[in-house]
Structure 1
Amino acid sequence: MFIGWARAGADYEPAPYKVIYRSGTRIGARWGNFIGFLRWQRYLLATLYKHREKIAAVHCADLDTALVGYLFCWLFRKKFIFDIYDQYSSSRGVSGYASRIMNCMESYLAREAHLCIIAAEERVEQHRLQKGANAPLILENVPLEDLGAEEIPEYSGTLHIGYFGVLERRHRGIEDLVAFASSRADIHLHIAGYGAREQEVRLAASRSGNITYYGPMQWAEGVALMRQVHVIGGFYYLSNPNHAYAAPNKYYEHLMLGRGLLTTRGTPPGQRVERHGSGWAIEEGLDPLNRWIAELHLSDMRRAGMNARALWETRYRDYFQEHYVGRYGRHISQYSRSLENA
C-alpha cells in the first residue's frame, strides 16, 4: 500500500494500491502549509491504524511521514523504515533553534529505525549516522526502468536545453535559466514541472519565443521530453546546505538518456560530471551560463552524451534489480515473514 499527499499542482496516477490524500496546499509554501501538514499527519495515522492488521513494515520518507510512522510502529510493533531524501531543515529553509530540533529528531529516528536508507555515501556524515554493521542502506536515485537513449537531435544553430522538475523559489537557478534563454536568440529552454516559480515561468514563456513551458508532467512524459533536447539542466546552488550532498534524480536520468548534464560546480553532481566527462559544472549565476555557451562546441555535446550513456551501461543498467529488488527486497521479505509468523 502507498499513502501519498497530492498537493496543489501535483497528481498521482490512480492504482488499486494507492491511498491518496488531496489538499490545496502548495509545494514550497513552507510555514504556510502548517495547518495542512497537521491534517496530513492525522490522515496518515488514521490510515495506518485502519490497515494495521495487514502491515508488516512502514517505509517513511523524510519527517513529513516519519514522526507518525515511528509512533505507529512503536505502538503496534511494526518494522520502521526511515528513508531520508534530504536533510529536512535545510530543504525547508528552516534555521536557528527549530533547525537544530529537526536535525536531532532526524538523527534519532535514523538510529531507531530497523532500516535507514540514504541516497549517497556522503550523507552518512551529514546525518551523523553509524558505520559498520548498523550502517544505513545506500540506494542511489536510479530510475526503476531504462527508457533508453537516442541520438542527440540535429543541431541547427539553436541549443535546446531541458529542465524537468520542481520549480523551486530558491537555490535551483530556475530564474537564471529563464533569464539566460530570454536574453539569447541561440537558446531554447524546454521546461516542465510545478512549484513556487510556476507562474513566473509561465509568464516568461508567454513573453519569449525562446521558452516553452509544458506544465506539470508525469515522470515518463518528462523524461521523454528531455530526450528531445541537446543538454539537460539541473542546478543545485550551495545557498542550500543540502546541495553539498546532492544526489538528484537528474544525475541518473542524464546517464540513462545519454545527454550531457549542465550543473553546479562544487556539488556531488558537478564533481561527477567533471570526473566522467558527462557534462559541465559551472559557477552559479547568469554570467557563467553565458561563458559556458561561448566555449561550447557540438563535439562537446556529443562526447558528453556518449560518456553519460557509457557510464549508465557499465554501472547503473542493472542497479535497480541488484539493489532495490535485491538488497532492499530482502529486508521487505524478512519483515513480511515476521508478520506471517506473528
Structure 2
Amino acid sequence: MKTKILMLRTNKVDPDPRVEKEASSLIKNKNYEVFIHAWDRNGKYKCRKEELELPNGKVPIYRIGIPGNWGKGMKNNIFPALKYEISLFFWLLKNIKNYDCIHACDLMTGYPALLPVKIFKKKLIYDCCDYYADSQHGPNFIMNLLKNMETKVIESADATILCSEKRIEQIKPAIPKKVVYVHNSPNLEDFNIDNTNRRVCKSNTTKFKLVYVGNFCVDRWLIELLKSVEKMPSVELHIGGFGDYLDEIERIASKNNNIYTYGKMKYEDVLILENECDCLVALYETHLKNHIYAAPNKFYEALAIGKPLLMLKNSGMSEVVSAEKIGAVMEPNFESFEKSIFEIKKLIERDQTLKSRMINIFNEKYNWKIMENRIFELYREVLKS
C-alpha cells in the first residue's frame, strides 16, 4: 500500500518552485502518493480539486479560495489568515483517512496540523521555508507568540527541513528531533535551457542586462532598483513576476526604454531569460530579519547557469558571493548600485573562468540531486520509525 503524503502551502503553488521540486522528486518513488493543499488568495470558493503538472508526473492539488492581501503584511491579512487556518484545520480532520504524512511548508500550515497529527498518529515533516516571526513586522508580544508557536511545531515534527545551514541559528530555542538541509536549488535536468533555440529576452541590444523574476513584495529594494536603472541608460532591467508592486513597476517601466516587464512566467522561461542576461539580482533588505537568513532562489539559479549575482550586504548567502568572488555585494543606495554594476562588468571581463567556477560550486554543494537524495533519506527514516 502506498504512503500518502499531503503537502501544505499558504500560497496557490502557481508557481512555488520549492514545493513543486519536492513533490516532483517524491513521486519518483512509486511507494508514495503525493497531493497538495494550497491557499488561493485571489479566489473565492470552498475547495477545488485540480491537477498540477510536474516534470515527473501529475499531482492532485486542492486549492481553497479565501481572498487575502498578498505581500501587504500580517496586519492587513489577519482575518483572511484566521479564516484559512480554521478552514484548513477542519479540512485536515475531514480528510484524515486520506493521508499518512503531512509535509507542512510554513507555520500557518504546520500549526493547524498539530492536533490531527497527534490524535491520529500521523507523521509530520516541517519544511521551514520562512521563519514566520522574522518575516513579519509587529508588536513584540505578537512576535514572541509566533516564535513560541513555531517552536511548538518544530519540536512536535518528526523532522524539520531548513533551506540553509545558517538557519539553525534562526530557529533557536527550538530543538528539532531531526534536521535536514534542502537548499533552494533548481533542478536543471527538468529543463533544456542550453539546447533551446527559443528566446525569451525582449531585447537584443549589447547593453548590460540585469534580471529579476520573483515576488513584487516589500523589502526587496524593487522600486529603488527600477529608479536606479532609470539613471543608467547603458543598463537594462528585465523584470518578471507578480505581487503588490505590479502596477507601480509597470508604470515606471512604461516610461523607460531600458526596463522590460514580463509578468508571471513559467519556470523554464525564467531560467532561459536569466541565461540570456548578464547578471541576476536578489536584493533582500536586511531590516527584515528573515532576509539575513534567506536562501534566495536567484542565488542558486545564478550558480547553476554561471551568471554573476548582485545582492545587498549581509543578506542571506551574500557572504558566499563575496568569498567566492561570483558577483558584488552592495549597500542600499544608488552610489553603491552604480559601483557594483561596474565591479561585475569588470569581473566578467577579467575572470574567464567565472562561469565554470560557479557551475562547479553549484554541482559540488547545491545540485538538486544532492537535495533530492536528502529528501529520500529523510522520508525513509521518518516513515520507518
Could you tell me the TM-score, scaled by structure 2's length?
0.78
Q: Is 1:308 aligned to 2:358, yes or no? A: yes
* Structure 2, unpaired ranges of 5+: 1-34, 44-49, 196-200
Q: Secondary structure at the match of 1:8?
A: coil
Per-residue deviation, 1:135: 4.1
Distance 1:34 1:91, change over 3 A: same
Match of 2:259 in 1: 211
The letter for the 2-side match of 1:32 is N
- CA distance in 2: counterparts of 1:117 and 1:92, whole angstroms: 21
The answer as to whether partners of 2:292 and 2:315 remain within 8 angstroms in 1 is: yes
Shift of 1:148: 6.2
Displacement, 1:332? 5.5
Superposed, which structure 2 residues align to 1:118-133 within 5 Å?
A: 118-128=162-172
Aligned residue type for 1:115: A
Query: Aligned equivalents of 1:96 and 1:148: distance in 2?
Result: 47
Query: 1:141, CA displacement in angstroms?
Result: 1.5
Q: CA, structure 1 residues 90+315, in 2 after alignment: closer, same or farther (shift >3 Å)?
A: closer
Corresponding residue SS for 1:161: strand
TM-superposed CA distance for 1:83, in Å, is 1.5
SS of 1:143's partner is coil
Indicate which of 233, 245, 264 corresponds to 1:197: 245
Aligned to 1:340: none
Q: Could you list the per-position Cα deviations for residues 39-83 of structure 1 after superposition, in whole angstroms to 9, with x for gaps in the alignment?
A: 222332233223211311111112121111112212222112222
| CA deviation after TM superposition for structure 1 residue 229, in Å | 0.7
Alignment of 1:255-270 (within 5 A): 255-270=303-318
Q: For the residues of structure 1 that align with 2:325 and 2:65, how far apart are their CA atoms?
A: 43
Matched residues in 2 for 1:148 and 1:13: separation? Answer: 20
Report the CA distance between 1:269 and its aligned residue: 1.6
Q: Which of 175, 182, 191 is the equivalent residue of 1:139?
A: 182
1:158 correspondence with 2:207: yes
Q: Which residue among 98, 116, 131 is the counterpart of 1:72? A: 116
Q: In the aligned structure 2, how far is the partner of 1:203 from the partner of 1:126?
A: 37
Partner of 1:289: 337
Corresponding residue number in structure 2 for 1:327: 377
Q: Is the 8 A contact 2:71 2:217 kept in 1?
A: yes
**Which residue number in structure 2 is paired with residue 178 of structure 1?**
226
Report the Cα distance in structure 2 between the residues aligned to 1:246 and 1:110, rounded to whole angstroms.
18
Letter in 1 for 2:258: N
Greater shift, 184-193 or 121-130, is seen at 121-130
Partner of 2:20: none
Query: Residue 20 of structure 1 aligns to a residue in which SS?
Result: strand
Deviation of the 1:156 alpha carbon: 5.6
SS of aligned partner of 1:259 = coil
Q: Is it true that 1:99 corresponds to 2:146 in the alignment? A: no
Distance in 2, matches of 1:304 and 1:283, equals 23
Judge conservation of contact 1:148–1:257 (CA < 8 Å) in 2.
Answer: no
The residue number in structure 1 matching 2:155 is 111
Residue identity matched to 2:117: C
**In 1: Cα distance, 2:212 partner to 2:157 partner:** 35
- Distance in 2, matches of 1:328 and 1:150, equals 32
Q: In 2, distance between residues paired with 1:218 and 1:273? A: 27
Q: Going by fraction, where is strand more abundant, 1 or 2? A: 2
Residue 22 of structure 2 is matched in structure 1 by none
Deviation of the 1:108 alpha carbon: 2.1
Q: Give the distance between the partners of 1:33 and 1:226, measured in 2 at CA.
A: 33
Across the aligned residues of Structure 1 and Structure 2, the Cα RMSD in angstroms comes to: 2.7
Greater CA deviation, 11-20 or 311-320?
A: 11-20
Distance 1:186 1:240 in 2: 32
Verify: 1:17 aligned to 2:60, yes or no: yes
* Cα distance in 1 between the residues matched to 2:42 and 2:265: 14
Name the residue aligned to 1:62: 106
C-alpha contact (below 8 Å) 2:310/2:328 kept by paired residues: yes
Whether 1:233 and 2:281 are equivalent positions in the alignment is: yes
Length, aligned pairs only: 330
Instruction: For 1:226 and 1:8, locate their aligned partners in 2 and report how far apart those are by CA, in whole Å.
Output: 28
Residue 339 of structure 1 aligns with which residue? Answer: none
Counterpart-to-counterpart distance in 2, 1:150 and 1:278: 21
Segment of structure 1 superposing worse, 210-219 or 137-146: 137-146
